[in-house]
Structure 1
Amino acid sequence: MNDCMTLRLRDNGRPTLVIGSHPDAKRLLAILGRDATDFAGMGAKWPPGVRPWAPAGAEPDITEAVAQSALLVILDPAESCADDALAAAQAGRVPCWIPTAPERGTAEPALPPLTGPATDWLAESEGAVRAAQGTQPGVGDVSLVGAGPGAPDLLTLRGLRALQTADVVIFDRLVADALLEQVPPRCERIYVGKRRRDHPVPQEEINTLLLRHARAGKRVVRLKGGDPFIFGRGGEEIEHLMEAGIPFRVIPGITAASGCAAYAGIPLTHRDYAQSCAFVTGHRKDGELDLDFRGLVREGQTLVFYMGLHSLRDVCAGLMGEGMAPEMPAALVQQGTTRAQTIIEGTVSDLADAVESREVRAPTLLIIGEVVRLRRRLDWFHGSGETMAWASPDRELTS
């Protein structure tokens, strides 16, 4: 269940519609925090204390039944009305829960419902509602989800909930395959990954994909490595969604800078070494670096360069050209937070030579600053050197 669903069940007082029946239904109700007599059901065989919802002697219209419900629970997808009920829920934006393996007595949400102040859920719900003003009934929504810096279990709980309730996942290259295994089997998966000098799916087409699937009434997850708002083009994508009146939410992720630095044993700030930190892209535009090297050379500041592997030598030369000491510590973190993590340490004057002598693979993160010295004492995570399994179209995940 997602967070907005928890809010609606708590506040709106509408019944829950259940399709199918099962001896474990009472425990399902307890998991949802619902009294058994509050449940609405289409099935004929119910445990004692569970009241079916249907006009006497008549089979209710499934579309109307779903529209009047706070939640649709499908215990048995093989029931004749299950497909129509699911379509009605998508069209009417009614939350739906399909428990896993109820026949084994393990029917429960993949994650337990979160508890806490209602305002936590209200903030996300209101944001999605405001973005939806002016849309037509039946329009779905889009969640921009940050997948984190590499290790699949560094995804947030809210991000995992979005994946587990998605109809379509549109994902980038730097997303662990293990994360894609969390989406429902029925979910459509579309790969739009980019590599250096290889953008098989232009950004404009990605924007079109988001709009097309949301307008079809689907719950869309745009899954991005790191955080959507830090060198992830998340701002560009939600601009298009807002212009089209598509409901959306942003679910932040652990960005590569903080995740990879932490796993490398390098604190980005430290009261004795660095009181500020700057995130910079080392990606070239039209073959040339466009950086304010003078503004980057500051005492007490840590520099973190994203996508800087192929411009490493020019970055170091530019910083030294504006007065950075050649002996300033620097480290390149390769495939951070994963089992393939490797770290090459040096100074701004010799790191490029050290990297060129090694076989280094993207993604990498360049950290420059006095805090790199702390790695000698704080180094705690060691990768095995294996190759990380990044998402790719080669595993037949695309649609």
Structure 2
Amino acid sequence: MATSPQPAPLTPRRHSGISRRLLLTATASTLFVTATACGSAVNTADGSSSDGLITLSMHNPDSETQDPATWQLVQEFNKKNPDTKIKLEGQPVEQHEQRMTIAAQSGTLPEIFWVYDSLAKTMVKNGDLLDLTPILAENNLKAKFAPSMLAGFRSGTMQYGVPYQALITGFYYNKAILSEHGIAVPDTFDDLLAAVKKLKADGVVPIAQGANNSSFSVWAFLTMLDRFGYESQYPDILSGKARYDNADFLRLYQHIQELAEAGAFPVNMNTQTYAQAVASYTAGKAAFLDAGVWEAAKIQKSTVGKDTGFWAGPTFSDGVGDQKLVMNVPSAPFVVSAKVKEDQKKYAAVKAFIQFYYSDAGQKILADNAQPPVTTYKPELGSTEDAVFAAVLAEAAKPGWTSPKSQPDLVVSAATASAMYDSFYGVMGGSLSPEEAVKNVQKTLK
């Protein structure tokens, strides 16, 4: 099963990302039955200690292949710290969320674990998580983070989480296809719409998208939502002072309808998965791909790697607020069980791992696996072998451009996030009008 986009999908997903978030309204008894049935999915990564002093529980059943950066980080840490080895384990996203929910209720949480922020916030309220402020204070580790990378995982004065990986999303584009059809890389929405019409007329799929079992794969369109004022409006929307079905958001959905009617999306969009959409792009069958940094290494190794660039998406003349936005935000966090503080050896091991993960040496391992650093560490990239990854990082660091604090679906309930995904794909596929789409999201907001 794919991981979630909240993280960046590693195997569509990820991410980190990238599978819908577990609805946390399920009863504990139901979760217990489900988790018990899925118990065999708890896998220990090869090369980690089966009797490690502490456990790192992840959202991938096979981190070595699905999340090689984390796997390598654990291997390096274990080599350097033979007396405090980490056991690395994992399950598919929804099973992992279920297991962490049950573990919190039974007081058996692993020492360190990945979790969606919505569940982490619930755990904070219940006193299940450790305040990481003292750990970040040591060796001045906090100074290595941009404030936006930590702010989303804070509750009052408590720093309950740290960013697992960074989430940079947008459109990959095939320079050769655009050049062959006399199309410049778009800047504005009007540019994109004109490119779509030209590509469609010439028999080329403009934008690779896959909705089947992958409805979360609308990252570039979530960024567009921020270009219509989402970040400033969502607190009032969540509190009931404003509505999702407002005139600003409706204009965005009307623009998406324009793209759909111009033939922007593949005719099999609703039956192909996100993974198949990626495959169509890497095979040179589409001009653009809606995805994120997690696909950089795969694209680099494909036949279109030498021709691929990265674009943060279109600006809008009728948008709201700053249009120079690129999505470069922390994905779901690492958190630590509050019980770790009761065991000095485990606390020391957790502290050592966090210090290593966010050190320059640890962040270099992320960069070596085509994952953007979450600290201020700046990787040295090769001129050709890292060209796609470098293009992503360059787009995220464009002068004068800023990032929202969070991806839009990460600050709402699981039900609302799912409705957002479905609303975009509904308009893309023609099953929903823009008016119906925004109303459907509003229905999930209490």
* TM bracket (short chain): under 0.3
Task: Give the TM-score taking structure 2 as reference length.
Answer: 0.22
Return the structure number with greater strand share. 1
Return the structure number with greater helix share. 2
Whichever of the two has the greater Rg, that structure is: 1
Task: Give the TM-score taking structure 1 as reference length.
Answer: 0.24
Using CA pairs below 8 Å that are at least 6 residues apart, which structure has the higher relative contact order?
2
